[in-house]
Structure 1
């Protein structure tokens, strides 16, 4: 968790339309959003839901509602207002002019969490590049548009270093980071070519964040490496070799968890990581079956796979955490998904069935 002298206090705002309310449970979205904010080391003072007919180009929400939020933020002594929506430069600037405190959108929040979990060179480069590309259009002259940005969330790069806010230096830094990322991609390409030459098949774990992909990988390869219940603990592709039989070895790769409304340019930012999926022979789609909205999470992952043109890639649907649901519910899900594999990474249940299916 972030080490700061004083935790920032945030007022959370979930904005939704009638159509979004029909597609997703707002209570579930709000809970996930709250957990995201907490994992960024922020104290939540309150969360409000705002229903709108449609977004507005100036404020995203109505101007009157913005003033209501400003009043509540003042009452709650909030340091920052965080929207569970992606705001344009204009909307963010106009909202902050009314709210009179730092205003963060969903993209900036996710990037902040990514920065905290970036521990390798590749992860750090990808996160910092995404953060700077997000900030660049929000700069005015030589200073940052958000005069109240100060420190804390929205200003932290990988390794807790403060992000650059000078336009000219940002542009130079972006060029440098892109060059470094290209070298990493070329190195990965050479590794993949060697695997192909050695006839080693590649399986990639995909799934919604916190589905238990890393736990499953560690259990399959008997790795006792510590995993976390936090969101986005895996940012870099982690590969492990797995011997399925005397003459059959595969490489299993863990990838970054997906999320509902994952911003498009974040997918682009992690192209070097997600590229691993493109060259995989098989996708292992891990689902947290104990989540009552698991079918919506499956849809969210499939949408990202479609965006990456991977919807036709061979895949196995794996329902994890079966130890957390009752047997009658489990049987009903099995009837609905007869081709899926049902496992518990924690209890090591049905892993032999999964390995046989991978063969």
Structure 2
């Protein structure tokens, strides 16, 4: 066996040695020819060399056959023995592992049976709990529905109460507003009446009626303040609560610039008035003379003669003077009244703002 293996290794090493190329063979042959002299070869030597070649080839063939026999013997004798022994060892291991796994399997089956029993028991308990939860859920659902209905009812009641309170608050503010407006209107009528009395108090000798009227000029801010003071008086039946009065005071402070109304320049008006009044005498006398001349001319055309005395001229002059003075006074009174009109409008605008601020709807 050792010989076969050694021969096999020798053959393998020899086979694995790289063969020289034909060019190398030719080079080596030429080198040998140069080194050795050519000698004639005898025929006996020629035969001996042929036998050696044949024996060498037979030896190589024997080595190849020995190699094949070694490989064949390895795969069909040695290797199967080792494989069989390994299979037996593996089989023994598998049997031992199989026994161990069978024991584990038995323990697992026992545990599985216990787990199945426990699971069935837990499923029974779970089913009971589930039924109890379902019943509780139904009760909770009913309770939630009742709670939702109760909440909706409470919300509706709260909304209805809010609307009623809003209407009540609006009604209270409407009463407060009307009392405030009424008190301010009464104060306005009183002061405006004094203003007009002074304005229309005119005579021939009253040349300062415009300056006298300035002292009675109605102040819108003072009028509103007086009306609010009267409205919040707790000693009267229509007195308003303090919270409403505070709110009105706040609005008045914020909107005070809205009801400030400055009077015209009465000094300048007085000066113009006196200048025009001083011209009335000459104007009235001229108009009276023109009228008398017109009537005299008309009488002469009718064949009549009109006799006019100084007394007649004075009477006509006085009549024209009264008419001109009335027109002059009316024109200046109209100027003063027109200047006072924005004050009235300012009061009206202020009360519209109050109405909007306290939330009173327009009717």
TM-score band, normalised by shorter chain? under 0.3
TM-score by length of 2: 0.18
| TM-score normalised by structure 1 residue count | 0.18
Larger-Rg structure: 2
Greater RCO, CA 8 A, separation 6+: 2
Higher strand share: 1
Bigger share in helix: 2
